[in-house]
Amino acid sequence: MTVQPHFRRYRPLAIALFCLAFVGAGDWVTSPALAQEEATAATTPVGRALERVNVGDLAGAAAILEPLASQAETSPLAKALLGGILLQLDRPADALEILQPLADDAAADPAVLFNAGRAALATGNLGQGDRYLTRSVERDPGSIASRELGLLRRRQGRIVDAYLLLKPWVESHPRDREAMLAAGHCAVEMQRAPDAEQILSFLAADDAEAVLIRGKLEVLKGSPESAIALVEPLIATAKAPLRRKMHLLVADAYLRSGNSAAAVALLQGKTAKDPLLRVFLARAHYQQGEVDGGKALCLPL
């Protein structure tokens, strides 16, 4: 496993954390319990595992701790550390098996809850993941758990909740591109143009998804022509999911500016089995007065 370049910038125990959770902003979730172990742990399984973690050998660290997981005398600290390591090794089901009993404790550490939440989400247990992340944020507001819960809230369509979680995070972590993009989308959807502009100022001018958000912002500000000029040149080179979003935005901008012919030209032959793209193409035909063409597009696929 390749170790993140930020890894060695932190003290061994500080970077080991319970969860070894790295994000683009360079944040790791720490646990006071690990710090307390630092002076005496050198000869314990936790200490030896942390030594392996410190040199990037997560598999070696797991090999030290995993045989102890089923033993009654194994400390919660060792289990929590193992759960975080297994999660980083892309073994979320195994991680959740270790972490769930710890996370279900009413006094669970926020870092344990965070990792258990991530493991649950990775295994498709969305409700469980939501509950663990929510409890982690309640116990440690502003932590990395707020970032993960904010991203989850956006995927759930809970835009306001997502924004309230993500905005404080991105203000203190302006290099976290994923969170910045999510917060930017939320700000535009909430029609908070000044906030969106502030967020976009931290994103690269040639970042295609950031350009999409800038295009949405121009539409919001009543300048669909500016949105077209920004976004349409990038459609041809954009990846499929983003390209679809760009088609939708530019088509909408053409319709808003009264240029239905350009919208038809943009979407013709690209709607395939995409109902939303077909709706925009139908609207373009209707705007041109081509009622029959619009009706045909509204028939079941």
Q: Is residue 12 part of a domain?
A: yes
Q: What is the pLDDT of residue 288?
A: 75
Distances from the Cα of 262 to the Cα of 36, 118, 191, angstroms:
65, 44, 26
Q: Is residue 94 located within the same domain as residue 173?
A: no
Q: What is the pLDDT of residue 163?
A: 98
Residue 301 pLDDT greater than 80, yes or no: no
CB-based contact 130:150 (threshold 8 Å): no
Q: Is residue 239 part of a domain?
A: yes
Which band of pLDDT confidence, cut at 50, 70 and 90, is reported for residue 38? very low
Q: Is residue 112 part of a domain?
A: yes
Ordered DSSP codes for 206-262 = T-HHHHHHHHHHHHHTT-HHHHHHHHGGGGGGS-HHHHHHHHHHHHHHHHHTT-HHH
Q: What is the pLDDT of residue 292?
A: 58
Which band of pLDDT confidence, cut at 50, 70 and 90, is reported for residue 171? very high
Distances from the Cα of 237 to the Cα of 1, 199, 215, 228, angstroms:
31, 24, 16, 15
b/e map 168-197, b = 16+ CB within 10 Å? ebbeebeebbebbbbbbbbbbbeebeebbe
Return the closest-CA partner of residue 248 out of 267, 225, 221: 267
Rg of the Cα trace of the chain? 24
Which band of pLDDT confidence, cut at 50, 70 and 90, is reported for residue 118? very high
Q: What is the pLDDT of residue 179?
A: 95
Which band of pLDDT confidence, cut at 50, 70 and 90, is reported for residue 30? very low
Q: Is residue 4 located within the same domain as residue 36?
A: yes
Q: Is residue 61 located within the same domain as residue 188?
A: no
Q: Is residue 228 located within the same domain as residue 146?
A: no
Calculate what percentage of the chain has a pLDDT beyond 90. Answer: 60
Q: What is the pLDDT of residue 41?
A: 53
End-to-end, the C-alpha distance of the chain in Å comes to: 46
Q: Is residue 117 located within the same domain as residue 145?
A: no
Q: Is residue 24 located within the same domain as residue 126?
A: yes
Tens digits of per-residue pLDDT, 255-287?
999 999 999 899 888 887 788 888 888 888 777
Which band of pLDDT confidence, cut at 50, 70 and 90, is reported for residue 10? very low
Tens digits of per-residue pLDDT, 229-249?
999 999 999 998 899 999 999
Residue 218, classified by CB atoms within 10 Å of its CB into exposed (0-12), middle (13-18) or buried (19+), is buried
CB atoms within 10 A of CB 116: 34
CB atoms within 10 A of CB 74: 16
Given 154, 169, 203, the domain boundary residue is: 203
- Its pTM stands at 0.81
Q: Is residue 208 part of a domain?
A: no
Residue type, 275: P
Q: What is the pLDDT of residue 7?
A: 26
Given 84, 111, 132, the domain boundary residue is: 132
34 or 266: which carries more pLDDT confidence? 266
Q: Is residue 60 located within the same domain as residue 2?
A: yes
Q: Is residue 213 part of a domain?
A: no
Q: Is residue 209 part of a domain?
A: no
Separation of alpha carbons 34 and 28, rounded Å? 13
Domain CATH code at residue 115: 1.25.40
Given 79, 108, 132, the domain boundary residue is: 132
134 or 10: which carries more pLDDT confidence? 134
Q: Is residue 196 part of a domain?
A: yes
Which band of pLDDT confidence, cut at 50, 70 and 90, is reported for residue 142? confident
Which own/partner pairs from 28-35 qualify as long-range (CB within 8 Å, at least 24 positions apart)?
Answer: 28/144, 29/110, 29/111, 29/114, 29/115, 29/143, 29/144, 29/145, 30/111, 31/77, 31/80, 31/109, 31/111, 31/112, 33/77, 33/80, 33/109, 34/77, 34/81
| Dihedral angle over CA of 164, 168, 171, 172, nearest 10 | -150
Q: Is residue 19 located within the same domain as residue 116?
A: yes
CB atoms within 10 A of CB 286: 17
Domain coverage including residue 181: 141-203
Distance of CA 289 to the CA centre of its chain: 43
Calculate what percentage of the chain has a pLDDT beyond 70. Answer: 82
Q: Is residue 212 part of a domain?
A: no
Q: Is residue 28 located within the same domain as residue 69?
A: yes
Indicate the number of domains in the chain.
3
Q: Is residue 5 located within the same domain as residue 110?
A: yes
